[in-house]
Structure 1
Amino acid sequence: MAFYFSNLILQTAKEKSFQNNFHKEIFYPNKMNSIQNIQPDHYMTRGDKQFIFDAKYYNCVRGINYKQVAYYFFLERLSEDAPLFLKKKYSKTYAALILPGDIEQKIHFKFNSEFNSLEKDFVILEYYLNVRDAITSYLSE
């Protein structure tokens, strides 16, 4: 079984085409208060791509998930050459909500160009994960 995220495939433990190194990462974006932080649930980098996933324990999403939008905008422009900010550290940032369920993945949010024509690639997916299959896969490792 493979989990599809845009054009990226995250394989299950049995298929192990690459190691998914998701982890909890803490970022400190507030220059005026250095102890304030953001903590995406699952964060991974792979080459020049970064993945920001937020786990939910409910399967009915109502309204825009502002926290995931904020994570994207805090982290999408991380720079390799701060303070000049001429080169983005990652060429692509993927953002998704991980929810329990057997529903097809779908787009949670995509900008209406009337509100932001610069972020044409900004998409947050809702990815539904069959919890029983995930636990079975984990236990069979």
Structure 2
Amino acid sequence: MSEERAKRKLSGILSADAVGYSRLMQEDEASTIRTLEDSKRLMSELIEQFKGRVVDAPGDNLLAEFASIVDATECAVKIQQKLKTRNADLPDNRRMEFRIGINLGDVVEEADRIYGDGVNIAARVESMAEPGGI
């Protein structure tokens, strides 16, 4: 009996997380959910434009994969620009900013999901970004 090898590949990984999500939810759940869904929709559209794909988007997180790290980086910049413009119309206490981390790394792909250190590093880098930063 032979073991099937996992499908490995090099990918540009983008990890995004909303800043202060718990506080926003405590203050106004309905508005926060609307803002989050609008933000995720905007990010998903841009990810598609930059030839990426959303792998997962649980809660206030989003994980995307790109064949090119350049596309991932340009997409992240455009996401932050668009979110900044959108936030300008909101009161300070209702603004939803995202931290974004990007990594070029080896991933294991299984059932349209990606796993591995490449993903973990992108998430760690994201946690070091300033709100609204990359």
- Normalising to structure 2: TM-score of the pair? 0.33
Greater share of helix: 2
Q: Relative contact order: is structure 1 or structure 2 higher (C-alpha 8 Å, sep ≥ 6)?
A: 2
